[in-house]
């Protein structure tokens, strides 16, 4: 089985442009990677930088990013974010989690991913896959992604912080799926605690 590289990581490989990484990360939430890739490319054709994005209306952005998940809300957030970055941040994407989470539509997951991909800083991006799989393994016993992030900051060696999201997102989409995971094909099966897991029937 081939694993897909998350689209935000691909953008990070192609460009360390923090603007593009931030925007693609916002678009990627609750959206399939292939949809994010097409929508991001379409948006960047019309708005290649913060200034040009700030000049677009929310309605124009909405049309460009459709059909990403929650595209109407994201269009409003993107327009407000661009104006805020242009007017209050000298057109520069912040490189701290404290400043990033002040941007509309940016939570800790997005902020950590931007820090890791765009700025090459040690950051733990915990999405649903990281949270779920770390609990399946019994590496953490947590209720929320935020709890998982804080637990991993204590238990996970720093050298793995930037890698954990990239690896577990691909693993969670490909083999350790939320429903009917492919435990029968997994090389980790003998050592996996399988906490609250119902493997697929074969």
pLDDT of 7 above 80: no
In this model, does residue 9 exceed pLDDT 80? no
Q: How confident is the model at residue 136 (pLDDT cuts 50, 70, 90)?
A: very high
Structure confidence by residue, pLDDT tens digits, 89-121: 999 999 999 999 999 999 999 999 999 989 999
Does residue 145 surpass a pLDDT of 70?
Answer: yes
Average pLDDT, the chain: 92
Q: Residue 31: its pLDDT value, please?
A: 86
**CATH 1.10.340.30, the chain: domain bounds:** 7-119
Query: Quick check: 8 pLDDT over 80?
Result: no
Give the C-alpha separation, 191 to 61, whole Å: 47
Q: What is the pTM of this model?
A: 0.87
R_g of the chain computed on alpha carbons: 18
pLDDT at 32: 85
pLDDT of residue 1 exceeding 80, the answer is no
CA distance 6 to 19: 17
Q: What is the pLDDT of residue 4?
A: 63
CATH number at 7-119:
1.10.340.30
pLDDT beyond 70 at 10: no
Structure tokens that stand for 12 in this block: 């990070």
pLDDT of the residue at 3: 57
What are the φ/ψ torsions at residue 40 (nearest 5 degrees)? -65, -45
Residues of the chain with CATH 1.10.1670.10: 128-191
Domain covering 128-191 assigned CATH 1.10.1670.10 in the classification: yes
The yes-or-no verdict on residue 161 having pLDDT over 80 is: yes
Within 10 angstroms of residue 23's Cβ, the number of other Cβ atoms is 28
Instruction: Report the share of the chain in percent with pLDDT over 90.
Output: 81
Minimum mean pLDDT among 10-14, 27-31, 165-169: which range? 10-14
């Amino acid at each position: 089985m081939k694993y897909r590289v998350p689209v935000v990581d691909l953008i990070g490989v192609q460009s360390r442009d923090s603007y593009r990484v931030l925007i693609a990360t916002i678009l990627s939430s609750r959206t399939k990677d292939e949809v994010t890739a097409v929508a991001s490319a379409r948006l960047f054709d019309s708005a290649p930088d913060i200034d040009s994005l700030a000049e677009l209306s929310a309605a124009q952005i909405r049309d460009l990013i459709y059909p990403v998940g929650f595209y109407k809300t994201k269009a409003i957030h993107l327009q407000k974010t661009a104006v805020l970055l242009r007017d209050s941040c000298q057109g520069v994407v912040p490189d701290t989690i404290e400043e990033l989470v002040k941007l509309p539509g940016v939570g800790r997951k997005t902020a950590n991913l931007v820090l890791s991909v765009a700025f090459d800083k040690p950051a733990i991006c915990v999405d649903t896959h990281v949270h779920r799989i770390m609990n399946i393994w019994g590496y953490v016993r947590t209720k929320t992604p935020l709890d998982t992030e804080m637990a991993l900051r204590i238990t996970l060696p720093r050298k793995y912080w930037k890698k954990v999201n990239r690896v577990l997102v691909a693993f969670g989409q490909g083999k350790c799926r939320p429903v009917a995971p492919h435990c029968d094909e997994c090389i980790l099966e003998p050592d996996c605690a399988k906490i609250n897991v119902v493997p697929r029937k074969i």
